Amino acid sequence: MNALRNKVQLIGRLGDKIEIKTLESGKVVGRVNIATNEVYRNAKGEKVTETTWTNLVIWGKNAEILDKYTDKGSEIAVEGKLSNRSYTDKNGEKKYITEVVVNEILLLGGGSKVEKAQMEAATSDLPF
């Protein structure tokens, strides 16, 4: 049951191009928002679509793949864990952030870019 703790899976569209940073340590980190939609009918029978925006943090090769093969509006699936953090802004106010730290990505929507990205991800662990 430990594998079920703090696990998030989302399918949605990127709100923008991923922002990539290379840290002093050489590690690569990316940040981007993903929009997920829930569609239902209200009490009057009208179709309602609710969009939820979620902050994603993506490390290493996954961040590089998203940078190389996706753009604003690209459809992706992610799996990761929820993370909460806080910081003090320049006005001295404490701010709280909830984000998903991504472990796995899957590019959706097909096309040659997606196929190239999937091949790159599948072969990135090979020793040659």
- Fold of domain 2-119: OB fold (Dihydrolipoamide Acetyltransferase, E2P) (2.40.50)
pLDDT of residue 121: 60
pLDDT of residue 126: 42
Residues in the chain: 128
Residue 115: CB atoms within 10 A of its CB come to 12
* Tokens linked to 75: 């459809």
Query: Helix, strand, coil: what percent of the chain each, to 5?
Result: 20, 50, 30
Q: Give the alpha-carbon dihedral of 92, 93, 94, 100, to 10 degrees.
A: -110
Let me know: does 67 contact 20? Beta carbons within 8 Å: yes
pLDDT of residue 109: 79
Let me know: does 58 contact 19? Beta carbons within 8 Å: no
pLDDT of residue 11: 96
Handedness of CA 83, 51, 29, 79 (dihedral sign): positive
pLDDT of residue 5: 84
* Tokens linked to 120: 């790159």
Spans of all domains in the chain: 2-119
In which residue ranges of the chain is pLDDT below 50? Answer: 126-128
